[in-house]
């Protein structure tokens, strides 16, 4: 069993991982930048190591500093959380060479899923349906145009190195195609150092639905159902739900089994998420994430499985603590991401939280590193808290969500709390009538 974990992250996810370690009796080491010495994750850890200046590149992303911190503190494993080094296959490979355990999948699988073309091919070969498109990379404009015409417009040009919505261009007609293709290629080359692109039919009004899976080293695997993450803005999810209102129990069971079987056959290790677009009653696999996700708590609430604990157990060479038969879905959960942003312009906000009161009571979970008097810093991601609400059904969950949002006090900075209050009472949200474009329309109509 792992005895000491270094948490290579900050903020709410570092605190979340610390809590799982404490529940398992595992010692914890926090790392922090010079700007974060008073941060909650540092206070709660057994030990802490400063790894550099405020800029992430020089601290939380500084591989030699992070590995040195693990070596001097005697940690035997590193949990990367999400963002930062979590999907860096070089980092995970380097840990192996230092005799350190990376709490995450094998380096090969991280690299494989980092290349969206390889990921798509891999899961298509394992029996998942994918969006109609080019067979792999397109390498010149003439061939690309011919394939785009065959697919039929609108066509999406996607970067192999992209993902999470970065490096995509839509061509609505044949006349638009050359520019979309050239721009996507050029931008991908600059952003990812890889100008490889592929083509897909553009789905105009999909929902974003993802399945959580876990695989141990004995080849046991399960899925934990799906999350509906359609409410997003510029590819930043704002509100997530489990389960989705669009899946029947039968579809969940059959697609869930297909997804888990595919991960099992691949010899994947650890937890992962397979992303799908859902349109006209069909699911299309698009990408796989090889990290713990921001929205994992809603799955924890409806299944009772502690996914971070499972990550640590899997990395320690233990068996999954549940079989598929033991996974039961109960009730409904919603997560609201509380970002330090202006709720209308989404402009990031920083400063001191002058007063903090966090909601509680039945069905409420808050994952956050905030406290009264803490600083919200401009160097890092604006996610400062996650309000996770659970109830027996979706309507009760929405009622509790309103109750909790009204109770929540975060003074001194702008937050998305007022936006969430509006969403929680919006008729389309209440009816479950939304797709990935809902928030753009909602913001436009609000002005
Ligand atoms: C798409 C799509 C429409 N058609 N692919 C954006 C994030 C990346 N994971 C894939 N994305 C999309 N791929 C086809 N063929 C629309 C999106 C998309 C999107 C997907 C999920 C959540 C939010 C999104 C916002 C804009 C576009």
pLDDT, tens digit (0-9, with 9 covering 90-100), for 225-258: 999 999 999 999 999 999 999 999 999 999 999 9
Residue 289 CA to ligand 1 center (angstroms) comes to 14
Residue 165 CA to ligand 1 center (angstroms) comes to 6
> Percentage of the chain surpassing pLDDT 70?
99
Residue among 161, 436, 438, 439 to mutate when testing ligand 1 (max atoms within 8 A of CB): 436
**Angle between the N-to-C axes of helices 417-424 and 394-407, in degrees from 0 to 180, rounded to the nearest 10:** 150
The answer to whether the CB of 331 falls within 8 A of the CB of 324 is no
Residue whose CA lies nearest to ligand 1 atom number 17: 165
Distance of CA 200 to the CA centre of its chain: 23
Q: Identify the CA nearest to 386 among candidates 335, 319, 352, 310.
A: 335
Q: What three-state secondary structure class fits 284?
A: strand
- The residues spanned by each domain of the chain are 4-103, 132-201, 207-446
Is the Cβ atom of 439 under 6 angstroms away from ligand 1?
Answer: no
Q: What is the pLDDT of residue 225?
A: 98
Residue among 171, 277, 290 to mutate when testing ligand 1 (max atoms within 8 A of CB): 277
Rounded-to-integer distance, Cα 247 and Cα 95, Å: 40
Q: What is the pLDDT of residue 444?
A: 87
Residue 212 CA to ligand 1 center (angstroms) comes to 18
> Catalytic one among 185, 207, 227, 291?
291
Rounded-to-integer distance, Cα 8 and Cα 32, Å: 8
Q: What three-state secondary structure class fits 69?
A: helix
Mean pLDDT of 118-136: 98
- pLDDT at 164 > cutoff 80: no
Rounded to 5 degrees, φ, ψ at 2 are: -60, 135
Q: Which of 32-36, 161-165, 176-180, 305-309 has the lowest mean pLDDT?
A: 161-165
Rounded-to-integer distance, Cα 48 and Cα 245, Å: 43
Q: Identify the CA nearest to 230 among candidates 94, 434, 53.
A: 434
Banded model confidence at residue 166, pLDDT cuts 50, 70, 90: confident
Q: Report how many helices (DSSP H) and strands (DSSP E) the chain contains, helices first.
A: 15, 20
Residue among 134, 156, 198, 284 to mutate when testing ligand 1 (max atoms within 8 A of CB): 156
Query: What is the CATH architecture assignment of 132-201?
Result: 2-Layer Sandwich (3.30)
Query: CA of 210: how far to CAs of 15, 134, 273, in Å?
Result: 24, 23, 6
Q: What is the dihedral of CA 411, 384, 304, 278, to 10 degrees?
A: 120
Mean pLDDT of 137-142: 96
Query: What is the CATH architecture assignment of 4-103?
Result: 3-Layer(aba) Sandwich (3.40)
Q: Identify the CA nearest to 271 among candidates 309, 237, 238.
A: 309
Q: In the annotation, is 291 catalytic?
A: yes
Residue 197 CA to ligand 1 center (angstroms) comes to 15
What fold, for 207-446?
Answer: D-amino Acid Aminotransferase; Chain A, domain 1 (3.30.470)
Mean pLDDT of 157-165: 86
Q: What is the pLDDT of residue 445?
A: 86
Is the Cβ atom of 209 under 6 angstroms away from ligand 1?
Answer: no
Banded model confidence at residue 446, pLDDT cuts 50, 70, 90: confident
Residue 148 CA to ligand 1 center (angstroms) comes to 18
Q: What is the pLDDT of residue 447?
A: 53
* Same fold? 4-103, 207-446: no
Residue 12: its H or E element:
helix 11-23
Convert the pLDDT of each residue in 90-104 to its tens digit: 999 999 999 999 999
Residue whose CA lies nearest to ligand 1 atom number 13: 165
The mean predicted confidence, pLDDT, of the chain is 97
Mean pLDDT of 361-375: 98
Convert the pLDDT of each residue in 19-43 to its tens digit: 999 999 999 999 999 999 999 999 9
Convert the pLDDT of each residue in 275-312 to its tens digit: 999 999 999 999 999 999 999 999 999 999 999 999 99
Residue 386: its H or E element:
strand 383-391
Is the Cβ atom of 235 under 6 angstroms away from ligand 1?
Answer: yes
């Amino acid at each position: 069993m792992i005895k000491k974990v270094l948490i290579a992250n900050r903020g709410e996810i570092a605190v979340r991982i610390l809590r799982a370690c404490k529940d398992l009796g595992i010692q914890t080491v926090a790392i922090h930048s010079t700007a974060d010495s008073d941060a909650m994750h540092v206070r709660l850890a057994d030990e802490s190591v400063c790894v550099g200046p405020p800029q992430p590149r020089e601290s939380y992303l500084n591989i030699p500093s992070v590995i040195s911190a693990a070596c001097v503190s005697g940690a035997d494993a590193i949990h990367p959380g999400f963002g930062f080094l979590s999907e860096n296959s070089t980092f995970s490979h380097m840990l192996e060479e230092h005799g350190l355990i990376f709490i995450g999948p094998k380096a090969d699988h991280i690299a494989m899923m980092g290349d969206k073309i390889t990921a798509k091919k891999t899961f298509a070969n394992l029996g998942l349906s994918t969006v109609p498109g080019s067979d792999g990379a397109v390498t010149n404009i003439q061939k690309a145009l011919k394939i785009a015409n065959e697919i039929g417009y609108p066509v999406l040009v996607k970067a192999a190195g992209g993902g999470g919505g970065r490096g995509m261009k839509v061509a609505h007609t044949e006349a638009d195609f050359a520019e979309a293709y050239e721009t996507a290629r050029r931008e991908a080359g600059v952003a990812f150092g890889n100008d490889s692109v592929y083509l897909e039919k553009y789905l105009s009004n999909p929902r974003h639905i993802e399945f959580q899976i876990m695989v141990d080293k004995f080849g046991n695997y399960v899925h934990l159902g799906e999350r509906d993450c359609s409410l997003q803005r510029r590819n930043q999810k704002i509100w997530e739900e489990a389960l989705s209102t669009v899946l029947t129990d039968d579809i969940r069971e059959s697609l869930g089994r297909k997804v888990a079987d595919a991960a099992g056959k691949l010899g994947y290790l650890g937890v992962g998420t397979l992303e799908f677009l859902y349109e006209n009653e069909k699911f299309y696999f698009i990408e796989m994430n090889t990290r713990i996700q921001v929205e994992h708590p809603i799955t924890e609430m409806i299944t009772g499985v502690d996914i971070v604990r499972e990550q640590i157990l899997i990395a320690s060479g233990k068996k999954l603590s549940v079989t598929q038969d033991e996974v039961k879905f109960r009730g409904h959960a919603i997560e609201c991401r509380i970002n330090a942003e202006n709720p209308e312009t989404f402009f990031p906000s920083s400063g001191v939280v002058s007063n903090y009161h966090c909601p509680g009571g039945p069905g409420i979970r808050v994952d956050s590193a905030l406290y009264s008097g803490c600083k919200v810093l401009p160097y890092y991601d604006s996610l400062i808290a996650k309000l996770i609400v659970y109830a027996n059904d979706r309507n009760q969950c929405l009622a509790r969500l309103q109750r909790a949002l009204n109770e929540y006090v975060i003074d001194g900075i702008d937050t998305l709390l007022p936006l969430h209050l509006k969403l929680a009472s919006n008729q389309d949200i209440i009816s479950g009538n939304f797709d990935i474009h809902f928030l753009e329309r909602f913001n436009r109509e609000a002005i």
